[in-house]
Structure 1
Amino acid sequence: MPGRLENKVALITGAGSGIGLESSILFAQEGANVLLVDINLEGAEKGAAMIAKRFPNVRALATKADVGKEADIKAAVDLAVKEFGRLDVMFNNAGIMHPADDNALNTEERIWDLTMTINLKGVWWGCKYAILAMRQNATDESKGLHPGGSIINTASFVALMGAATPQLAYTASKGAVLAMSRELAMVHAKEGIRVNSLCPGPLKTPLLMDFLDTAEKRDRRMIHLPMGRFGEAVELAKAALFLASDDSSYMTGTDFKVDGGLSSAYVTALGEPLLPPPASLVN
């Protein structure tokens, strides 16, 4: 039975760890050729090697890029098209949450600018060059390939509501990603280019755990989680797969929340986790 991304080409930024790495593996499992992009080339190369070993029917390549540099993003998209012939899925996932990001009084301008460059400009450039590439996609009915494609931009639950711990630049950047994604979705819908935002809740990934570096910070997040636990990166990868595939063919401009119920909660009782992660995620 063919996979949900059979014969398609996907480019994933921030693919050296966390959501990006898990998505790269899952997309390859579903039949996609994958370009893993990360500023940490070693992490991306390890992911590509893992994919090559597990899924010999697809190709996986790794390349280094700083998404805060437009030329790097253009080069990555050009590489995907050169090596694989087209681009069907662009997952603009790379981002930062700087430990010095705080409230309006304490956040330095350099932290604000760095965060905006990576989290917002990087996504804008990723969309720009993905759209240009997707416009060139030809129809190949024998392989189930069509013009257009799917762009997925990682936003956050904080794009929809305030965060319990101050992180002003991060929150503002993710709100902007959400708004930008909606507008791009409207502009390019008739071209067959779908643009959706993925809004993760708090995840047990290095990005968040490095930021929540005290028990107090972690408890302030946990109290708002109805499931009583942080999410796993692979749970977001499965949501990204849905948005990447034709299963979501009538979805564009959405904010796809995968947050353990956080955005629907008022407050929950702090205590022992209510539910452990599914065994399939931790074994």
Structure 2
Amino acid sequence: MKMGAYTTVKDILPIVGCGILFYLSVASRSRPFEREPMGTITFPLGDVYIQREGEADWNDVYLHMPAYERDKIKTSEESRCEITLTDRKIVRIGEKTIFELTREPDGGEIVSIESGKAWINALFSKKKRFQVRTPTAVAAIRGTVYRLSCDSIYSSYRVYRGSIAVTPLKEDEELEDSTFYVNAGEEFIVVKDFEEYKRRQKEAFKKFKERELYKFEEFKRRQREKFEEFKQREEEAFRQFKAFHYVLTKFDVEEDRKSDWVRWNLERDRQLGR
């Protein structure tokens, strides 16, 4: 076709059509996340990164950045991040934590935490189903404030308001047929490799001793005997059930609030009217 003064609309349409198809193709690749987000980054602190679904790279997050299904978010040392989900649930993660968002077919939401610690405030949640999954258990919650820490062999929960229902996971990651209910003021710990858990606890105490060596002799003189008695009572409190160990106890609220992580989360909740 020769373009000129007498070019017709019929002549131009194929070119315009090809151009539109090319634009749509490029746009779909450059903006793959034109879909409903599951949440928004509302308070990043320090080095916080996001990995979009299907991508290998981790990129910096920014304030008010949308988070979509199957996105992963991770924090570095001395970093934190607050994510507000679409129905006003709040998830805050501490340092060296990785978590992922997924949505169930019925509209329910799942937060998966591979390792690290998190604070969940779901007081204003209207969703019927919200679960937090770790390598060892699944917690079903509604109208709850609680925190957790976990790694590949254990999960620990402390509930501040409401209650949670925790179901341990089998080795094949299927749910056990027993659920444990944890109420406000209670702590629940579930462990799937108790010997390894005890070894890690001892290793953590050793690192503390090395880090605080300049004052550890005084600590040891005053507290070592009490500490050993406490650890023995703690280990004896664990009960074995099927392939895992667990303990359900009350926790000391005043002692708990000495934690910087707890105080920071309580203050954030207060600022947000939670």
Q: TM-score range by the shorter chain?
A: under 0.3
**Which TM-score applies when normalising by structure 1?**
0.23
Q: When the two structures are superposed, what TM-score results if normalisation uses the length of structure 2? A: 0.24
- Which has the higher relative contact order, 1 or 2, with Cα contacts under 8 A spaced 6 or more apart? 1
Larger radius of gyration, structure 1 or 2? 2
More helix by share: 1
